Amino acid sequence: AQKITQTQPGMFVQEKEAVTLDCTYDTSDPSYGLFWYKQPSSGEMIFLIYQGSYDQQNATEGRYSLNFQKARKSANLVISASQLGDSAMYFCATQGTQGAQKLVFGQGTRLTINP
Amino acid sequence: DADVTQTPRNRITKTGKRIMLECSQTKGHDRMYWYRQDPGLGLQLIYYSFDVKDINKGEISDGYSVSRQAQAKFSLSLESAIPNQTALYFCATSDTRTVTGELFFGEGSRLTVL
């Protein structure tokens, strides 16, 4: 079984600051993927970044990077130089590569960027 | 036009009514999913389908049924809606052939059961 834990229900950050959103995971799959999605107030789910469990380097996509620490089972999202448009819910998710390959989500973190 | 289209986008109905939410995709993906999101919570998997002949229950399938009419179409039915099924429903797709297996979501269908 897979489980995602996001311990920060809400975070408030000043514009232009960097922010780290925490995510820890638990899985029995030897090979798995970790995902981050953004959900703005309009409701859609936007894919941000992916990290494979065997990837040697941390994933980066523009201002987003994933701080992957396999031994600690953490996959924190780092947003550099935050912008007002980054205000949204952020969800961490994991998917095993064996069996049903379902995507399991955490409960999310609501990020608010203050001007 | 959206690659993953859900209809209706908003629906208000009464307890006991039958409701169908429809999803169609133009991405050519083989896998389709239905998720439910309750206010302030993450997404929970209702049903998923890896191809037209493959339907699987997710974490919270009770009270729901699905039909995969074609590779591009996956519908979710509430046979007799109840108020605690009030939620935002997402359809999603993924492609077996990709390395990441990321999900592509529709814009969501907001259902209110009175």
Regarding beta strands B10-13 and A109-114, do their DSSP bridges make them parallel or antiparallel, or are they unpaired? unpaired
Nearest Cα to Cα of residue A29 among A84, A99, A80, A114: A99
The per-residue pLDDT for A100 is: 60
Dist CA A96 CA A1 (whole Å): 9
Task: Give which of B105, B109, B110, B111 to mutate to test A binding, by max A Cβ within 10 Å.
Answer: B105
Query: Contacts of residue B100 in chain A, CB cutoff 8 Å?
Result: 33, 35, 50, 52
Interface of A with B in 17-56 (CB under 8 A): 33, 35, 43-45, 47, 50, 52
Nearest Cα to Cα of residue A114 among A91, A82, A75, A78: A82
Query: CB of B52 within 8 Å of any CB in chain A?
Result: no
Measured over the CA atoms of residue B27, residue B2, residue B44 and residue B21, the dihedral's sign is: negative
For residue range A7-66, list pLDDT tens digits in order: 999 999 999 999 999 999 998 888 899 999 999 999 999 999 999 999 989 999 999 999
Write the single-letter amino acid at B86.
Answer: T
The minimum CA-CA distance between A82 and chain B, rounded to whole Å, is: 23
Query: CB of B34 within 8 Å of any CB in chain A?
Result: no
For residue range B22-76, list pLDDT tens digits in order: 999 999 999 999 999 997 778 999 999 999 999 999 989 999 999 999 999 999 9
